[in-house]
Each structure stands twice: as C-alpha cells, then as structure tokens.
A = this chain, B = another copy of it.
C-alpha cells in the first residue's frame, strides 16, 4: 500500500441554501476540489450521502455528481453509513489510491436537508427502525438519554455541558463557510428552548444544506505536482449495534473507541501525538464522550476539560476549529468530508484566524446514528 495525500479540497457554504439544489451543491464542491487539486480528471468518485431519497427523492447520486461536475463515465458510487457517510467516502478513496488501482480519486459528501422533507423523520432512519424510530424516539431523545446517564454517573453539570457549543460557536464565528457565525454564551445555551431534557436547542447541531469534496492522490504524485503535502497517515473504522438499548453502558460509544484503536495502531501513534481534531459533535454530549473514547481525556473528565479551555483555539488540544457540526452546520453526508477539509486547511497553514499554530498532526472523527458506525482519519503535514 503506497502513501496517499489529499491534494485538493472544495466545499460550499453550509446553511439553508434555498437557491441551490443537491446537484448544484455537489457540482460546486466537486469542481472546487478539482480546481484546487490542479487536475483535469479524476479516476473515480465516492459520494457520501445519508438519505437523498428521503430528503429530495433522488438516489443514484454517484453517477449524477460525476456527470454534473463534467466527469461523466468515471466509476462513481454513493456510500452510506448515516452521518458517517462522508468519512467512509474518504476512507474508500484513500484505499483505492493506496492500493495502486487509481491515481486521482474524489471523495465527496452532500446532503440537501431543507427542501421540504421532514428532517427529523428522515434522520430517524439512522436509528433502529423496529426498536427505536417506530416507537417515536428521535436523535435528540437518544442523545438526551446518553447525556442524562453521563450527568448522573460523573456529576457533569449543565454549565459544563454548555461549554461545548460555546466553544464551537466561538470557532464557527471565524469560519466563512459556517451556518452560524455568532458567538453564544453558557447562559444562551442553558436558557435556549428545551428539545429533549437535558438537551436544549443550542446543544443540537442544525439541519443544513451543503456539500464538500476532496481529491486523493499518491503522495509521490502530490510531491511531483508541487502540491502542499497533506498525507493520510491512517484510517480506521468500526461498527456497533444500531439500537442504543444494546449498549452495555450509555456513557460510552464503543465504535469510536474501536475505530480509534485501529487508526492509532495503523498509524503507530497515540492520542498524545494529536495536535488538533475535528470530532462529531452532533449533540454537545457526543463531543464529550467521543473525546474520552479517542483517549484524549480520562473517563468522566471531558466536562471538566471542556470548561477549562483546553479544547479552545490557543488551548492544548483545539477541537472543532471549523465550528464543528454545531456551528459550521451538519449536512449529514457532507460532514465527514468537511472535517477532513478543515484538517487539510490547518495542515497547510491556510486556516486564517482559526489557524492552530505549528499544526502537523490532526485527527477527524465522524460517526453515524447514536454511534453504530464510526470512521477516524489521521492526517499529517509532511515535507
């Protein structure tokens, strides 16, 4: 398996994009990534998207995106693992190039969630239909169960939990592609509308339209092309049961721990080597548990760490400098790709006001449902 690099990135603004269709968003992101990569053609395409069938009544979007970005004829396929679809698209593109089968492969992600579909209902198809969704529970409810269990077990306070979105909005306010570019306070969070006790509106990632794309190439090709060298050091992936009731401990997300174990082993690295990360903060509680599963914080300590400033820009381990799913927005299939784009911009030193100084090693963590699937990548700036 040869070394692989991300040589081009492109994304749309995330938000309520009423004037752009799914195909327009995909073409815009794809063309931007191709232009950034400096190539004329890609050899293959993986598009992560959770549910274009339910959101805009359009499946078969691999071929559609290939055509609308001027690459008709190439092998193209959609990949889906709920909100981890984008992470899987990147993983498969990396694998295809690493294997030597292809030279330039695009991984993209897209979701058009604001076009009239019942987003909560569509998203609930990522949960277990027979044992969860059918009975009426939706994702805010599932994560609220996890939040309540975590608060009871570890004494996490409502104020500590609020520090997660406060930090995300602080970062998102500096991201021109973010859906929400305003700062919020702990008071704003704990006084926002109740969604599913204890989670309030500002604990929840929004419903978003958007697309993102990256071009993967052999590291040696990137070097010859004179591209900034952002190497994909390793990828890891894992699954778990779909239904939350099958989890032995509601304060854990085992698929994240397992994917982390795999990616760190493959990379020959540990959590202490990582300088910054984009993690899957679909709900505030998710970020805390994920940070523990990734080995960044001890069990039960993520709340204290979050309120200490460690994960803010300028802290020891900046998390979600893009604004995360919470402030940047969460077009579900695109999120895993957009995480990689933020990491690439950090590693190229092109993150502007959000730049993590001296960034060399970053991690992205993308998951589906209440954690039934997870994909983790480690990216590295090399010379």
Contacts and interface: CB of A to CB of B under 8 A. Distances in A.
Interface of A: 1, 21, 23, 50-54, 56-60, 62-64, 66-67, 72-82, 88, 92, 95-96, 98-101, 122, 124-130, 133, 237-242, 246, 254-255, 258, 368-369, 372-373
B95 A373 contact: no
A227 to B, nearest CB: 23
B72 A81 contact: no
A293 B125 CA distance: 38
Nearest to A368: B60
Nearest to A237: B75
A267 B227 CA distance: 34
B81 A125 contact: no
Nearest to A242: B64
Given A58-B128, A62-B239, A75-B237, 16 more contacts: A21-B130, A53-B125, A56-B129, A57-B124, A59-B126, A60-B81, A60-B125, A63-B373, A67-B240, A72-B239, A73-B240, A75-B238, A77-B373, A78-B79, A98-B99, A99-B100
B128 A64 contact: yes
A57 B133 contact: yes
Contacts of A100: 1, 99
Contacts of A128: 58, 64
Those 5 A-B pairs whose CB atoms lie nearest each other, nearest first:
A99-B99, A75-B237, A63-B372, A63-B239, A60-B82
Q: Could you say how many copies of this chain the assembly holds?
A: 2
Contact of A53 (B51, B73, B75): B51
Contacts of A64: 128, 242, 372
Contacts of A125: 52-53, 57-60
Query: Chain A binding site: helix, strand, loop or mixed by DSSP?
Result: mixed
B60 A369 contact: yes
Contact of A95 (B1, B54, B99, B369): B99
Nearest to A127: B60
Contact of A239 (B51, B73, B95): B73
A81 B53 contact: no
Given A60-B369, A99-B98, A80 B77 contact: yes
Contacts of A241: 63, 67, 72
Contact of A238 (B74, B126, B368): B74
Contacts of A240: 63, 67, 72-73
A238 B53 contact: no
Residue in A81, A128, A258 whose Cβ sees the most chain B Cβ within 10 Å: A81
Nearest to A44: B237
18 contacts: A51-B59, A52-B125, A53-B53, A53-B125, A57-B125, A60-B81, A63-B241, A64-B242, A64-B372, A67-B372, A73-B258, A74-B239, A76-B81, A77-B92, A77-B373, A79-B80, A98-B101, A99-B101
Nearest to A254: B73
A80 B373 CA distance: 17
